[in-house]
Structure 1
Amino acid sequence: MYGTSGAEDRTPPAPATSAVAAPLKAINGGNLLKHIKVLASDEFEGRSPGTKGETLTVAYIKQHFTRLGLASGNPDGTYVQQVPMMGVTSTPKLTFVVAGKAMPLNFPGDFVAFSPRAERDIRVDNSEMVFVGYGVVAPEFGWDDYKGADLHGKTLVMLINDPPVPDPNNSAKLDPAMFKGEGMTYYGRWTYKYEMAAKLGAAAAIIVHETKPAAYPYEVVVNSWVRENFSLKTDGPNPNFPPVPAWIHLDRARDLFRAAGLDFETLKKSALSREFKPVSLGVTATFQVQNTLREIASNNVVAKIEGSDPELKNECVVYSAHWDHFGVNDKLPGTRAQKIFHGALDNASGVAMLLELAKAYKALPAPPKRTIVFIATTGEEQGLLGAQYYAHHPLYPLDRTLANINIDGINTWGPTKDVEIIGFGQSSMDDSVRKFAAMQGRTVRPETRPELGTFYRADHFEFAKVGVPVVYVKGGRDYIGKPESYARERVDEYIAQRYHKVTDTVRSDWNLAGAVEDARLLFMVGYDVAQGSEIPQWKAGSEFKRSDTR
């Protein structure tokens, strides 16, 4: 049976006011599970933007917002913010030419490529291939992989993640002074690498996939990109991508370098130096990409509880969770259900928690002083598109948005003695999380897997980039009654077996007691901001402090 009991029976945190007793009690594991089962059902067809799945999902979220008595979140009186997107289904071909000999690659086993351009046919002919190491320009670390090279029209070959620079005092560890050491910076994200390729005028960019530094297997790349892809609609070329972004399987990359008379591992090692310069491979690449295009008016779903204070109600706290996933892949074998990317944990669970939090706020005897906004975003799986659109077209002024609390996946493995803050040390919101976690008898810790780069892979990142302090927590690593290895085993199993796969379904061994505690924690954190006199601030040294215009 599904484990949903436990947290409901445990004593909720006891802050100074009794006004929150009913809201905390209202958060219920059984209701979380009911929402997840609906959103991750076969009927909702994997919730891809611009499909029947979106229509059903948007209607479901809106229905529950209205049933709860939440007001429409868009000032135009509706519960949606339209997000104009372009849907692109690409069929690519790629051939390398080495010393006059053609090396055609198989799609998608050897490579994955697409083009975000609103064109039916895209060609990159005989483009010189250049190895650019990690493709990073980071002045704060004295790092520049490009050294002023003219890369216009060329095909860049890049390594995934940050440069793992060894610690000069201990070669078994990474240098904590460089790219956060064992952690990951935005420089390691595929989005950054494609942005740089576009900025430099490259014709194409190929990222070499490696499972460990990427934190997911090549199969995830295939499942994520070999389908209809989405981008925000733009008047001209998408500034975030070169004409052809691509990935290549590690084995094929090694074959390519070997055929060019080069050693992949040797060049990879050379890329760990500040002195690295781009290396021409003596190889050309020819891409042919055929696109099927459609314009989509996707939707963020938005509701609010207006603040009760005549002046402070013009400020807000935003809770967010993305509703989208990867839809259906009819090319997969098996029954219809085996072709649906159900996205139960990612992120039907987050939407379920968003709805439970909305219910909790409506259980207050009076609304908070400040307005509470709930946003279920679209297009997260395609590059945080719904959140990105909101950040650039906010429905509520960003300088009056005090915090974003984002939910992407919930703890389905039971209660913990701790809670992890993703992006620990960035803002004063850490202190609020710590205070209310302590009321639950829990401790706070930084993320234990910083190498995954989780902070840069979810919607809160778009809020952070425009200066809004954020909260993104995960259930901790110290599971009650479980061995020390339990958390890592569960995370590793999920990434290997279910992340971005059709197997991300509701499971009979779930225990949502920990999720209930996390939801109660996030309620108290948001309520504290909505009621309090202190404005959340970025901490000194945060990379986002310069974006804070409030």
Structure 2
Amino acid sequence: MMKRAIGLTGLLAGALAMASCDAIMTGGDGAIELDIPEVEAGDISEETMKDITRTLSSDEFEGRMPGTEGEELTVALLTERFEAAGLQPGNGDSWVQEVPLVEITGKNFAPLTITDGETDLVYDFGSEWVGVTYQEEARTQLANSDMVFVGYGINAPERGWNDYEGVDVAGKTVVILVNDPDYETEGLEGKFNGRAMTFYGRWTYKYEEAARQGAAAAIIVHDTEPASYGWNVVESSWSGPQAYPQYGDNPPPRTTMNGWVQKDVAREILAAAGQDLDELSAAAKTEGFEAVDLGLKASTSFENDMRTFTSQNVIGVLPGSEAPEEYVIHTAHWDHLGRCTRAPDGDDICNGAVDNATGTAALVALAEAHAKAGAPRRSLVFLAVTAEESGLLGAYYYASNPVFPLDQTVGGINMDAFQVAGPAKDVTVVGPGKSQLDAFMSAALEADGRTATPNPSPEAGYYYRSDHFAFAKQGVPMLYINGGQDLVEGGTEAGKAVADDYRANRYHGPKDEFNEDWDWSGVMSDLQLFYRIGRMMAMSTSWPNWNEGDEFRATRDESCATSDAGC
């Protein structure tokens, strides 16, 4: 098979730094290069895509909610189709990895009460604040917890930033701003990548860091622009049943409560402490910001109903011909929301046809195509994960309990919700410039005659919102590519109209249903791109890394430094 060495500096904006892995080569002019093979187009079945998407999104599967009969049907279908595609069971002799989950439903919420010892501020659950617990306790109580404003709640040594420096928040309630310190920057240059949100801007990080610091509670100030969604999304997402991994005997640090407050509520609370929200927010954007003791105490309580159950990730593998213990991974989530708020016509099944029956079907279609082409040099893993809609739980569980060692996992591609509106001239790259996998993507785009368009809303942090993120946190380089914005018929205006229509009328609702009139040509073009990228990675000898300065680089370097068999 023909191979070529691709110079990274000539492919993407910004120099990509040399990784510590042996297979990355340096050219004679000093340019860093990767071994990127040329691969033929794959024989990918459109009928497979249609058949599996149609079946998974049928009413019989009842929205594929984990822990229901819909899950049993889904796992059975994927097991059957993975085996028929020519894969082998991915977990020893089993096609599944069990994922233990707990569902916690808060109830009987007391108000959030803030006091300075003389005057009480009282806020109602839902309309003014929301809160949940990650602890498996029948009752959650926060009692007279001292409050500290910690800016953006970031501790990033590699960026010279620590909002917790010099302050002890053990047992206290920290108040945190959403997003990154430089989210208002017009461009993408800055200590936290300017307009583009980093991991440090996501609520998941902020709660985790608060727990590591020993905080009893963490409360994020909601602001629609930097959050990229309104309070209605917060209220609906953070009330009702919440699913989490069962942590077992050695859980990670957890707060007693995590929550959000409306911006006007935060403004009133800070005013009671003699502080101004706008002034503190401006100060928090500057290096050397120091946390502020508010001289206030926070209290609330609520009860919890708990249900434990086991869900399943489905795993198939195509063993490599020369390096079977080196792995390239493909991920997609099989789950959806089950039954949900009724549509006007009475339909209450969230079928999840686009999100993500299409991505799940793509795992099978790609597995078939790779098996037809013959085993590549490295092993290909096809992982259908559970509970993405509950917070990437299946992906997190696998990444924390990997069947195939992560230091032997070269990298991967995540597939979530394919566009079914016809072909596009481009693809949308979520999180461009993060890793040396961009070079593989660029080579595949060139082979297919297409272009890459950066995500038009970098401030929304979409890279940190799908299953690949669980692997990225553990250091594994991952690509996340969506359908294009520039449609062959209608251009970017038509592409925006399609995206807006889906978001407004079908996304996470009962009308995300299979349509026999869908135009699959764009989906098949995107699949061809994913096939090339996956096969290039599987035929390569290189171990691509995160770019120098990326938040996941240090984790990968540490993993590689202790590995004897992988990177």
Please tell me the TM-score bracket, short chain as reference: 0.7 to 0.9
Letter of the 2:282 counterpart: K
Q: Confirm or deny: 8 A CA contact 1:164 1:174 kept in the other structure.
A: no
Residues 352-392 of structure 1, C-alpha deviations (whole Å, 9 max, x = no match): 2112212222332x332322211001222333222222222
- The match for 1:399 is 407
- Distance (Å, rounded) in 2 between the aligned partners of 1:507 and 1:248: 40
Determine whether 1:477 maps to 2:495: no
2:530 aligns with 522
- Distance change (3 Å), C-alpha of 1:417 and 1:378: same
- TM-score normalized with structure 2 length: 0.83
How far did residue 333 of structure 1 move?
Answer: 5.8
Comparing 440-449 and 257-266, the one that deviates more: 257-266
User: Taking structure 1 as the reference length, what is the TM-score of the superposition?
Assistant: 0.86
CA-to-partner distance for each residue in 1:274-306, whole Å, 9 max, x for gaps? Answer: 243333444432221211112222111001222
2:47 aligned with 1:39, yes or no?
Answer: no
The equivalent of 2:351 in structure 1 is 342
Distance 1:335 1:446, change over 3 A: closer
Q: Does 1:418 align with 2:436?
A: no
Aligned twin of 1:12: none
Is residue 462 of structure 1 aligned with residue 479 of structure 2? no
Match of 1:320 among 311, 328, 331: 331
**Residue matched to 2:103:** 87
Distance (whole Å) between structure 2 residues aligned to residue 450 and residue 270 of structure 1: 23
Aligned to 1:359: 368
Aligned pair partner of 1:285 in 280, 285, 298? 298
Cα distance in 1 for partners of 2:378, 2:157 equals 40
1:196 match: 209
Please give the alpha-carbon distance, in whole angstroms, between the structure 2 residues aligned to 1:198 and 1:509.
49
Task: Please tell me the residue identity of whatever aligns with 1:404.
Answer: G
Deviations 1:499-526 (A, max 9, x none): 4455544468854322211111111111
Q: Distance in 2 between matches of 1:533 and 1:237?
A: 38
Distance in structure 2 (CA, Å) of the matches to 1:499 and 1:481: 23
Aligned pair 1:451/2:471, yes or no?
Answer: no
The structure 2 residue matched to 1:111, chosen from 110, 126, 129, is 129
Give, in whole Å, the separation in 2 of the partners of 1:344 and 1:301.
19
Corresponding residue number in structure 2 for 1:130: 148
- Residue 78 of structure 1 deviates from its aligned partner by 1.1
Secondary structure at the aligned position of 1:472 is classed as strand
User: Which segment drifts farther, 199-208 or 55-64?
Assistant: 55-64
Distance 1:209 1:45, change over 3 A: farther
Distance 1:498 1:428, change over 3 A: same
Q: Counterparts in 2 of 1:500-511, with a 5 A limit?
A: 500-502=508-510, 504-506=512-514, 510-511=518-519
Spell out the pairing of 1:159-198 with structure 2 (5 A cutoff): 159-164=177-182, 173=186, 176-198=189-211
For structure 1, the 5+ residue unaligned runs are 1-14, 168-172
Letter in 2 for 1:416: A
Q: Deviations over 1:141-194 (max 9, x none)?
A: 332223322212222221111112666xxxxx3671220011111110111100
Letter in 2 for 1:157: V
Q: Answer yes or no: is the 8 Å Cα contact 2:112–2:124 preserved in 1.
A: no
Question: 1:297 pairs with 282, 288, 310, which one?
Answer: 310
Of 536-545 and 227-236, deviating more is: 536-545
Map residues 421-432 of structure 1 onto 2, 5 A cutoff: 421-432=429-440
Amino acid at match of 2:362: M
Q: Does 1:250 align with 2:263?
A: yes
Aligned length: 520
Structure 2 segments unaligned to the other structure (5+ residues): 1-36, 561-566
Q: Show CA shifts across 1:298-347 (max 9, x none).
A: 1110012223x2x4223222111112233335xx4668964444333332
Post-superposition Cα deviations, 1:413-465, rounded to whole Å, max 9, x if no partner, equal: 33221223323223332222212212221123443322121222222222233
Query: Percent identity among equivalent residues?
Result: 40
The 1:124–1:507 alpha-carbon spacing in structure 2 relative to 1, beyond 3 Å, is farther
- CA–CA separation in structure 1 for the residues paired with 2:290 and 2:548: 34
One-letter identity of the residue aligned with 1:196: E
Q: Distance in 2 between matches of 1:203 and 1:153?
A: 5
Q: For 1:336 and 1:130, locate their aligned partners in 2 and report how far apart those are by CA, in whole Å.
A: 49
SS in 2 for 1:313: strand
Q: Return the offset for 1:397.
A: 2.5
How far residue 90 of structure 1 moved from its aligned partner, in angstroms, is: 1.7
Q: Conserved in 2, the CA contact under 8 Å of 1:116 and 1:238?
A: no
Task: Output the amino acid matched with 1:322.
Answer: H
Of 215, 218, 223, 1:210 maps to 223
Segment of structure 1 superposing worse, 202-211 or 252-261: 252-261
Does structure 2 conserve the Cα–Cα contact (< 8 Å) formed by 1:424 and 1:430?
yes
Q: 1:175 to 1:147 in 2, by over 3 A?
A: farther
Task: Write the letter of the residue equivalent to 1:114.
Answer: V
Question: 2:21 maps to what in 1?
Answer: none
Q: Which residue of 1 aligns with 2:416?
A: 408
Local SS of the residue matching 2:356: helix
**Alpha-carbon spacing, 1:89–1:357, altered in 2? closer, same or farther (3 Å):** same
Cα distance, 1:222–1:41 mapped onto 2, change above 3 Å: farther
1:240-259 per-position Cα deviation (integer Å, ceiling 9, x unaligned) = 64111112233433444455
Alignment-derived partner of residue 7 in structure 1: none
What are the within-5 Å matches in structure 2 for residues 91-102 of structure 1? 91=107, 92-98=109-115, 100-102=118-120
Deviating more after overlay: 60-69 vs 371-380:
60-69
Q: Is the 8 A contact 2:140 2:302 kept in 1?
A: yes
CA displacement at 1:231 relative to structure 2: 1.8
**Is residue 65 from structure 1 mapped to residue 82 from structure 2 by the alignment?**
yes
Q: Tell me the equivalent position of 1:56.
A: 73
- Which segment drifts farther, 498-507 or 434-443? 498-507
Give distance in 1, aligned partners of 2:549 and 2:291: 31
Q: CA 1:43/1:156 → structure 2, altered by over 3 Å: closer, same or farther?
A: farther
